[in-house]
Amino acid sequence: MNISVIGSGSWGIALSIYLAKQGNTIKVWSFDEKEKNKINEEKKCVFLPSIDLPEGICCTTSYEEAVKDTEMILHVTPSKFVRDTIKGYQAFIQPNQIVLMCSKGFEAESNLTLDEVMKEELPNVKYGILSGPSHAEEVAIGVPTALVVASEWDEVIEKVSNVFKSKLLRMYHTKDVKGVELGGALKNIIAFCAGAAVGLNFGDNTFAMLATRGLVEITRLGMAMGGQSKTFYGLTGLGDLIVTCGSQHSRNRRAGELISKGYSIEQAKKEIGMTIESIDNIDVAYCLAKKYQVEMPIVETVYNVLYNNLDPKEAVNQLMTRELKAE
C-alpha cells in the first residue's frame, strides 16, 4: 500500500519503519527541510539516531506531494499542532483515502479530543484512531506489540487492521473512539506523576498507588464523556498506562522526574527536547474534570504543582491525607 505519514517525529518515523518493512511505500511529511534531507540522503532520523531507515521511505515538506496517490494518511504530530496541520493537507485528500490519527492528547484551546478536531476539519472523511502501549523506540526495532484501531466505520477497521497486522504487531479493534482517545490522552498525566515519584525517591508501593488510582480517575472522566468502562481496562487504557508510567522511554515520566527535582517547565522541555503531552494537556484535563463534575484529585494536584507552585512533596502530603473513603 502507498501510505502517507504526516509528521517526522519519533512515532511517525517508527511507524514508517515498521510499515516499510512490511512492504509498503511510505511518504513522510516534515515541516523541517533539514529533517527531510537527513531522511532522504542519510536514511536517518534525528529522534531515532541509532536506526537506519529501510528502503521504501522518502520525505517531503510538501503536503500535496505527501498525500498524493496514497490510500491511507497517518497523522502523527503533537496534539497542539493537529488542527493547523490538518488545514495544511485537507484540500488534497481524495474520496478513497482514510485518515488515521496516531497522536494522543487534546486541543488545549478548545478542550476537544482529537477525533472532535477531525470531525470539524474533515467532515466528509472516514477516519480512525490508532492507540495502545507502543514506545516508538521498540516498534522501530520490531519488539512484539499490540495496538488498537478505533473507528465508527467497519471498512476503516478492516483496512487498518490488515495493513498493520504481522507476527510482530497484533491488532485489536473497537468502535469506542471516545474511550480510546481519552485513555491515550489522560495516561500521560499519570505517567508524569510516576516520574515525580521516582524523582522524590519513593518506591514500588507509591508507583502502584499512583497507577491504580490514576486509572480510576481516567475511567471516571472517560465514562462521563461517553467512553465505555471496559476500554479503560484494555490496551488503550491500562496497557498504555503501564508502559508510559514504567519506562525510561517515556518523556512524560521523565518530565515528572525532572520537575520533582526542581526543574521549571521550560527547563524540563529543553532537557527532554521533544513534546511533553502531559504538560501540554494537564490544564485541559483539569478543566474537563470541572466541566463534567468528576473527582480527579491526582489531576488536580498535578495541575497545582505545574501552575500554582505547589511543592511536589506537599502535593504528596495532600493526596495522602485526603478524607478516607471506600475504594
Question: Annotated catalytic residue: which of 36, 104, 159, 187?
Answer: 187
Distance of CA 222 to the CA centre of its chain: 16
| 3-state secondary structure (DSSP) of residue 5 | strand
Q: What angle do CA 104, 281, 174 make, to 5 degrees?
A: 30
Q: Which residue has the cell 498525500?
A: 67
Active-site residue 291, yes or no? no
Selection from 290, 148, 168, 170 nearest residue 233 by Cα: 148
How far is residue 114's CA from residue 105's CA, in Å, rounded to a whole number? 7
The C-alpha cell at 327 is: 475504594
Selection from 31, 42, 35, 180 nearest residue 103 by Cα: 180
Whole-number Cα distances in Å, 3 to 23, 34, 296? 11, 22, 40
Residues 6+ apart with CB under 8 A from 55: 20
Q: Where are the beta strands (DSSP E) in 86-189?
A: 98-101, 106-107, 112-113, 127-131, 145-150, 169-174
How far is residue 218's CA from residue 74's CA, in Å, rounded to a whole number? 26
67 CB-side CA count, 13 A: 22
Cβ neighbours of 239 (radius 10 Å): 20
Residues 6+ apart with CB under 8 A from 185: 79, 104, 105, 106, 113, 114, 277, 281, 285
Buried b (16+ CB within 10 A) or exposed e, 299-313: bbbbbbbbeeeeebe
Q: Which residues are catalytic?
A: 187
